[in-house]
Structure formats: structure tokens, C-alpha cells
Amino acid sequence: MKFIGSTNEYLHLTRVDQLNCQILKETIENGLSILWFEKENNHLFIDGKRYDFKKNQIVFLTEFHNIKIGKVKDVRLLRFNKPFYCVLNHDNEVGCKGILFFGASQLPFITIPDEELEKFENVWKMFAIEMESNDNLQIEMLQMMLKRYLILCTRLFKSQKLYNVKFYESDIVREFNYLVEQHFKTKHSVADYANLLHKSPKTLSNIFSKIGNKAPLKFIQERRMLEARRLLKYSDLQIQEIAFELGYEDVQAFSRFFKKQEGLSPSKFREA
């Protein structure tokens, strides 16, 4: 079931099994996907790393994740784009800047406990009902259902403490991450993002230090490295083209950066 609005709003609700699992690899511009595994023994390769998912686990993916299918049983897929939902909640923790789609450096997932399962089932049923509607209130109802779904997931994510919750609850850090996701190809320094956040670089570094997570420069570098690995592994672009894509003026500078981070040159990485 798909909803496509008059201003490019997109929502797709469907069930996936081994026969139609290639749909998991599809991407849409500004797309976000939620996969709810209904059975045991599933595994996907996400950005080259194998992940095994159990029954009633949910994983949250952005358009930047590269997926290869290993084995999937029954999966509920909910996919939407930012025009559909994120315009409603730019700064809310259940919006696109929220903790579930915090970025591509970590893979957020939750496990639905038995006592919460009925809530998720009910929301899914309401989604299916509203997808069949056809009036001028449909998009508002669907947006409300999606927000409820994301709230349920966010509560579980925070309660299960799969990651450092303080890191996610910091508005500045979440905003920083969102900006990095948008601008990592062109903005490479802490000062660039500090300026966008109307903070000094020192203030931004101190915030990260208090939270106890990695330094902001490290976060920027890791995001660029993630994209570099993806392009080297999954694209046919020449190394020079990849360097330009990531904002380097010459391939030598890119090669030095890549080798320092990865331990081998871009060409050796691609060969391996």
C-alpha cells in the first residue's frame, strides 16, 4: 500500500518475504525505512557488515545505508520520505532529527517486549485502515499514525538503553549530527558546523566532551569515511571522482586521509 501526496509526500506500507525482499534494497530520495521482523533467523548485510535480527526486532534505516539481502522471513516495511513527516517536527526527538534516525554511524534497533506487542499491532492495523481511505483528511491521519509509531519506538529505544542516551538527548549534538548528514561532503571542519549552530568551536567541543562521546571532528571524519568506503565498494566511480565527490580538491589529499583512517590506500581497499 502506497500513499503519494500532491507535494511529493510518500508513505509505503507493505509486508516482505524472501520472494519480494529486493524491495528492501530500494531507495527513495530523503527516504527513511523501518523494518519490523516478524520471525526468527534473519540476516542482512548493511554497509558490508552482517546483522542478525530476531523476531520482533525493529531496525531504522536511512537512504544512505547500503543493503544486501542475506535471509529474511516475514518483515513489515514502513518507508516514508521527509516531505511526508519531518516538516511537522524539525526539532522533536521523534522526528527526522530524532534518536531513531540519528545518522549512519550507528545502526539503531529495538526489541519489542511481549507486553508492548499489542500496541504495535494496533498501530499497524490502523495504518492499513487509513491507507484505504480516500478523503482530504487521509494524509493528516497517516501522519498522526506515523508519529504514534515513532513515539512507541522512541520510548523503547530510550528504555532499552542500547546506546548512550545522554548523547541522543542533547539537542545540540542531535542538531550537529543532522547537519553533518546534510553537509559532510562540503563542510569538513568543526568550525563550519559551529558557525551553523551559532556556537564557537570550543563550546561545541566542550559539549561533546561533557557527554563523554567522540570529538565532533572524529564524527565528521567517520561520516566521510563511511561514504568513501561505500563509494569504493559499491560504485564504479574512479578514485579521483570519489575524492571530488567528498569535497577534496586533489586525489592525493583524499588518499592521505583515507589511508590514515583505514590503514591502507583507497586502491588497496577497493582491491581487497
Residue 202 scores a pLDDT above 80: yes
Q: Are residues 57 and 101 in the same domain?
A: yes
Same domain as 207, residue 140: no
**Are residues 55 and 135 located together in one domain of the fold?**
yes
**Whole-prediction pTM value?**
0.68
Is residue 136 located within the same domain as residue 244?
no
Judge if 136 and 20 occupy the same domain. yes
At 165, the pLDDT band (50, 70, 90 cuts) reads very low
The band of 251, judged by pLDDT with boundaries at 50, 70 and 90, is very high
Tell whether the model's pLDDT for residue 193 goes beyond 90: yes
Q: Cell 507535494 appears where? A: 7
Residues 145-149: what's their mean pLDDT?
91
Give me the pLDDT at residue 149, please. 93
Question: Residue 158's pLDDT band (boundaries 50, 70, 90)?
Answer: confident
Q: Vertex 188, ends 177 and 183: CA angle to 5°? A: 50
Across 34-43, 147-156, 207-216, least confident range? 207-216
pLDDT at residue 169 greater than cutoff 70:
no
Same domain, 13 and 121: yes
Domain count within the chain: 2
pLDDT band per the 50, 70, 90 thresholds, residue 87: very low
Residues 112 and 49 in one domain: yes
Considering the chain, what is the average pLDDT of its residues? 84
Would you state the pLDDT for residue 212? 61
CATH classification of the domain holding 222? 1.10.10.60
Highest mean pLDDT (candidates 39-48, 110-119, 168-177): 110-119
Average pLDDT over residues 4-12: 82
Is pLDDT above 50 for 118? yes
Residue 177 sits in the same domain as residue 143: no
Select from 96, 131, 163 the last residue of a domain: 163
Q: Assess whether pLDDT exceeds 90 at residue 78.
A: yes
Residues 156 and 178 in one domain: no
Q: Which domain holds residue 39?
A: 2-163
Is residue 239 domain-shared with residue 263, that is, in the same domain? yes
Give the pLDDT band of residue 161 (cuts 50, 70, 90): low
More confident residue, 158 or 36: 36
